[in-house]
Chains A and B, each alone.
Chain A
Amino acid sequence: MKESGVRYIKIAMCGEQNVGKSSTINKITKSNLDVGNFAGVTVDKAHIAIQTERKGKKYILEFIDLPGINCLIPHSDEQKITSDFLSNKDNYDIILGVFNATQLENDFHLFEELVGLKAKLLPCFNMIDELAHKEDLSKLEKDLNDLSEKFHTKFAAISAKTGFGIEKLLDSIIELDEQEKPKPADELIFYKTVVDHCKSYRDALHKSHRVTYLIDNILLNKFLGLPIFLFIMWNIFQLSFKASQIPVDILDSFSSISEVWFTKSLPGFLDLASLLACVSSSMLLVVSFIPTLAVMFLLLAIIEKSGYIVRVSFLLDGILQKFHIHGKAFIPLMLGFGCSIPAYISSRIMKNYHERIAVMIGIGFMSCSAKLIIYTMLIQIFFPVEYAGTILFAIHFLGVMIGLIIIKLSRQTFLQGESEMLVMEMPRYRMPGAGYILFYVWEKIKHFLKNIGGIIFVSSIILWVLSNYPNYGGGDPLIRLENSFLGMIGQATEFIFRPIGLDWKMSIALEAGLAGKEMVVATMNVLYSAGQGGIHAIASQISSASALSFMIFCLLYLPCISATITFAKEAKSKKYVIILIVLTTVIAWLASFITYQIVS
């Protein structure tokens, strides 16, 4: 049937029951225009037409969804509709035979019968995603393409569930419409070869499961599973601390040298020299974060991409049930160790709104990688280095515990409701390719340098101005700082932080940290090294009790502005944003207060 310039193709969909004929049609038409159900004598058939364009030509594809059949000899009234429809060739231009790719051998008989109808037949292998893992899918598709070229036949490999191959299916329909029908013998051999081919993929899938099975025997062991996980986490913090040591030492010597160097090379421009020294040491500070972040991102990425993260969800599900959330919640919580923003977004895997909000509030207490930089710096200055990894682990653990308690309390009060069902696929383990992981880490680092580098560059200039004016000039640098704009702001808000052992400089650092937690260290660098050079100067100005209280406050207080905005976007409710702000601030203050009172 031809209309002016538009080719109208009628496609009869047939196949066994439950192979996904209707879901294939649904997937095809979801993004399209014309959907219609025509009631009449043939109530069991559904006609759905879509418009599409290929190479400048317009097509209308009408899909006719037929009841499932096992063979063309009807055993029921419904099946009679299908076989009657297919026996009249005017009803359709192409038969789209839908088969389950994971059990093609069962459908050979039906395929043979369809070939016998001598109409154009497009075999469509559905559920292809269940036959091969994502990374093998394109290879499988290529193999099938080679086969179809060899036998001059067309085919489609799709997943009606994921939408894989749907566009190509439409291409194949149009191509088949324009070409001659292949020889029936070729079609049959093609199908048989595909059956063997798909079988080999299915066997490989089972084999790869065997390796996974062996690894799971250890990692999911009833008694060893959790200790192994905790040991892995402890090592992650140990390693990221080691990575932070070298650059901080270099940075220390650089900042004292740079100030002297700038002062010497720019005689007569002392203010410019001091500004340049301030900005350059802040920028160097940014660079010095890279090794710590790279190690953290790398290790988190391996856990995430290898499939281990799902196993930990399994191990922790029992414990998390006690906190009224399920094992799945571990994934966003764990990602929170990297950055809260992707963690908030990944919490979308939780389908129950209240449960999700509870987890999102909990994410704020997971210490992000920017906070890691604050701890590594303070630990190096105030605590014995041999315990650094353990202290870091303890801080993160404290964050997790407080986060979980808050989740539980909120689930019992303002976020009540049934927990959603927990069904989650445990994919096989796969070692993420080194190239991919390095690229992933590089992308994260690049993002960090671009965003945070820019923020710190601009704010270090602002900080320099605020810390040097209005009384720029001679005199004791410390007194000058106290009388600066920054000093005034800090002293005005100091009363809030005094009971938890923090001076006005630390208050400023915390306030600056709202823009991004990286700012905390950058601000301290400017404030404490004033006139003395080197971030180690901080040790002579605050006690270790204050340092500990400061770390606890950093751990628990409000996530940075961008994270809070993401929270608001994802939560779609102002109420919860206010709760987040109040909760985190109050808890941070109380926890720091208790810590400071006990330690000092």
Chain B
Amino acid sequence: MFLSELPSKQKAKIIKIINKASEEDYLSHFGIKSGAIVSIERRTLFGSTLKILVNGKYLMLRKKEAQLIEIEKVL
């Protein structure tokens, strides 16, 4: 499944990022890389922007970009 589909407050592990290498590099600067544990903390009214928690940091990310991040739920 993809990060954009993850219900709020649920933890998941990033498996891979389906993106151009340059963008993957950009995301990894923020700690968004395979293996990292991520959760969605908040969505805006129309759900177009997400506030996520990764590596103890809060980041904002667009739904569009979250659709490219493949994850698996962590129980």
Chain A residues within 8 Å of B, Cβ to Cβ: 102, 130, 161, 202, 205-206, 209, 212-213, 216, 220, 222-223, 225-226, 310, 313-315, 317-318, 321, 326-327, 421-426, 428
The answer to whether A220 touches B51, judged by C-beta atoms less than 8 angstroms apart, is yes
Closest to B53 in A: A209
Chain A residues within 8 Å of B56, by CB: 102, 130, 202, 205-206, 209
A452 to B57, CA, bound (A): 42
The answer to whether A423 touches B44, judged by C-beta atoms less than 8 angstroms apart, is no
Given contacts A205-B56, A421-B65, A423-B26, contact A223 B49 (CB under 8 A): no
The answer to whether A425 touches B58, judged by C-beta atoms less than 8 angstroms apart, is yes
What's the minimum C-beta distance from A520 to chain B, rounded to whole angstroms? Answer: 39
Given contacts A317-B44, A321-B48, contact A421 B62 (CB under 8 A): yes
Given contacts A130-B55, A216-B42, contact A425 B30 (CB under 8 A): yes
Chain B residues within 8 Å of A314, by CB: 44, 49, 51, 60
Q: Mark B32-72 against chain A: 1 for CB-CB distance below 8 A, else 0.
A: 10000000011111101101000111111110010000000
The answer to whether A220 touches B42, judged by C-beta atoms less than 8 angstroms apart, is yes
Chain A residues within 8 Å of B42, by CB: 216, 220
A426 to B60, CA, bound (A): 7
Closest to B33 in A: A18
Instruction: Identify which of A102, A213, A326 contacts B62 (C-beta below 8 A).
Output: A326
Chain B residues within 8 Å of A206, by CB: 56
Residue B23, interface by CB 8 Å: yes
Chain B residues within 8 Å of A, Cβ to Cβ: 23, 26-27, 29-30, 32, 41-46, 48-49, 51, 55-62, 65
The answer to whether B51 touches A317, judged by C-beta atoms less than 8 angstroms apart, is no
Given contacts A317-B62, A326-B62, contact A425 B27 (CB under 8 A): no
Show 11 A/B contacts (Cβ-Cβ < 8 Å), sorted by A.
A102-B56, A130-B57, A212-B58, A317-B62, A318-B45, A321-B62, A326-B62, A422-B61, A423-B60, A424-B59, A425-B58
A-B contacts besides A222-B43, A421-B62, 7 pairs, CB < 8 Å: A130-B57, A209-B56, A223-B45, A225-B44, A314-B44, A317-B44, A422-B61
A154 to B42, CA, bound (A): 43
What's the minimum C-beta distance from B11 to chain A, rounded to whole angstroms? Answer: 15
Instruction: Identify which of B26, B45, B57, B65 contacts A425 (C-beta below 8 A).
Output: B57
Chain B residues within 8 Å of A425, by CB: 30, 57-59
Chain A residues within 8 Å of B65, by CB: 421-423
Closest to B26 in A: A421
What's the minimum C-beta distance from A103 to chain B, rounded to whole angstroms? Answer: 10
Closest to A220 in B: B42
A510 to B32, CA, bound (A): 51
The answer to whether A422 touches B49, judged by C-beta atoms less than 8 angstroms apart, is yes
Instruction: Identify which of B23, B41, B49 contacts A318 (C-beta below 8 A).
Output: B49
The answer to whether B61 touches A423, judged by C-beta atoms less than 8 angstroms apart, is yes
A423 to B56, CA, bound (A): 15
- Shortest beta-carbon contacts, A-B, top 9: A426-B58, A317-B49, A318-B48, A314-B60, A222-B45, A422-B62, A424-B60, A318-B44, A423-B30
Closest to A131 in B: B56
A223 to B42, CA, bound (A): 12
Chain B residues within 8 Å of A209, by CB: 56, 58
A226 to B26, CA, bound (A): 29
